[in-house]
Amino acid sequence: MVVAVAGWAGAPLTAEVNKETAPLYTRMERAVTVPAELRNHFLFVNVRVNGQGPFRVFVDTGCSFTLFSPELAAAVKAQPVPDDDDATTAFNALGDSLAVPRALVDSIELGGVRFEGVVAGILPMTRFTQIDGERVDGALGFSLFSEVFLGLDYPGHQLLLGPGWPEILPPLRAEMTVHEHAAVPFIVAGLQDKTFEVEIDSGSNGSLHLPVELASSLSWKAEPRPGPLIEAIDEETQDYLGRLNGRLTLGSLVLPEPVASVGGAEPSIGYDVLGRFCIVFDQRADRVRFYSLQAGPIASPSERSVGLSVKLDPAGWRVVRVIPGSPAEEARLAVGDLITGIEGKLARDWSRDQLHDWVDTHDAMKLQLLSSGASRDINLRVWLMVP
């Protein structure tokens, strides 16, 4: 729930036409548990592609097809799709279309499960690497798991892959029908007097995202205000954040007065909701189950921030946005300033998750800045951007 740093919003890509994106064959001898790294609110796993690797990728249910960096594609000698339709039309997180070249790989191996004959989109991962702070080689899209049960166990930091519903899990809290649009999963939501579908998007680090048209028809307890910088493929934009009146319902799950972001693309729910659960998809039956040790309503705490969006820089963290009305604006920070120290330590030694955790649990953050060639120390208070 940190808005002090930039992050992804919504799916990196959603294909307009799901053409040849599911594996030709999926080979699995038994159910497997795959350790995952929960970093910047995304589940990262290691895969082998065409027998090579490991490569570091994240699992993105909001992305209909698998994505590889050009470097990965070259390393495994992925075969470009040669016909006239050699680009997949897709939408980024802001709802804008772009073309993504495709290539064929013989196999992707994940925890003993082998996906064969996979057509992947080829896309530079430079921005994702800058956001995460570690090398990102690609993303595993929702269609890759079309023949297996896929479990995203956020509390356990693992993936579950098998031929049926996992047997040993926390209590079942909700089971819902999945409606696939452009090969990504949606479920029905209720809010105030409206019913609409929301995308289950493990590639989003937010709570609830709403398009402008829907957001403008709703009642807000705290009106949306300018927020952090949001990254999408080939674009950056400003997010708006506010708190809604009423309850968001997702089957039997309830979120009272949820914090929501407003922008482009489809309605979606991200990590701030999903991260409480082990979520298991059965694509063949169009069902999803939410398991959790925690019962009752899902809390939507205040959004805390110092008012900065930042990107990784070799010497620390580079300011890429200053939020209007924030402590950072009051302290006259500017886009381009370099944060070289945080709380007496080198800024480059701080991960994005550590930045998130600090802002969530402290009232101020001490920074050392390099601005216009001059160094200065400041003490930024932590601010409730959305109470």
Please state the rounded mean pLDDT for residues 59-88. 85
Q: Could you give the C-alpha distances from 159 to 130, 145, 174, 226, in angstroms and in order?
A: 25, 12, 19, 35
Q: What is the pLDDT of residue 224?
A: 95
Q: What is the pLDDT of residue 154?
A: 97
User: pLDDT tens digit string along 307-335?
Assistant: 998 888 888 999 988 999 999 999 999 99
Residue with tokens 């279309």, as numbered in its chain? 97
C-alpha span between 186 and 166 (Å, rounded) = 22
Contact yes or no for 47/100 (Cβ under 8 A): no
- Which pLDDT band, with edges at 50, 70 and 90, does 161 fall under? very high
Q: For the chain, first and last CA: distance in Å?
A: 12
CATH topology assigned to domain 303-386 = Pdz3 Domain (2.30.42)
| DSSP helix/strand/coil, 142 | helix
For 312, other C-beta atoms within 10 Å of its C-beta total: 19
- Whole-number pLDDT of residue 14: 42
Output the pLDDT for position 132: 65
Distance, in Å, from the CA atom of 167 to the CA atom of 164, rounded to the nearest integer, reads 9
CA distance 125 to 137: 7
What predicted TM-score, i.e. pTM, was given to this entire model? 0.90
Which range of 2-6, 12-16, 38-42, 186-190 scores highest in mean pLDDT? It is 186-190
What lies within 8 Å, CB to CB, of 113 at 6+ separation is 26, 27, 28, 32, 148, 161
7-162, which class in CATH? mainly beta
Bigger pLDDT: 92 vs 244? 244
Rg (CA), the chain: 21
Residue 264: pLDDT band by 50, 70, 90 thresholds? Answer: confident
Per-residue pLDDT at 88: 58
**Rounded Cα–Cα distance for residues 202 and 359 (Å):** 23
8 has a pLDDT exceeding 50: no
Task: Put residue 329 in one of left, alpha, beta given phi > 0 → left and psi -120 to 50 → alpha.
Answer: alpha
What dotted CATH number matches 176-273?
A: 2.40.70.10
Mean pLDDT score across all residues of the chain: 88
What pLDDT shows up at residue 16? 39
CA 180, CA 185: separation in Å to the nearest integer?
Answer: 5
Q: Which pLDDT belongs to residue 4?
A: 35
Residue 11: the pLDDT is 39
Greater confidence (365 vs 130) lies with 365
Give pLDDT, residue 129. Answer: 74
Residue-wise pLDDT for 332-381, tens only, equals 999 999 999 999 999 999 988 899 899 999 999 999 999 888 999 999 99
Asked if the model's pLDDT at residue 214 lies above 70, the reply is yes
Where are the CATH 2.40.70.10 domain residues in the chain?
7-162, 176-273
Handedness of CA 8, 14, 20, 26 (dihedral sign): positive
- Judge whether residue 48 has pLDDT over 50: yes
Instruction: Among 11-15, 81-85, 345-349, name the most confident range.
Output: 345-349
pLDDT of residue 230: 62
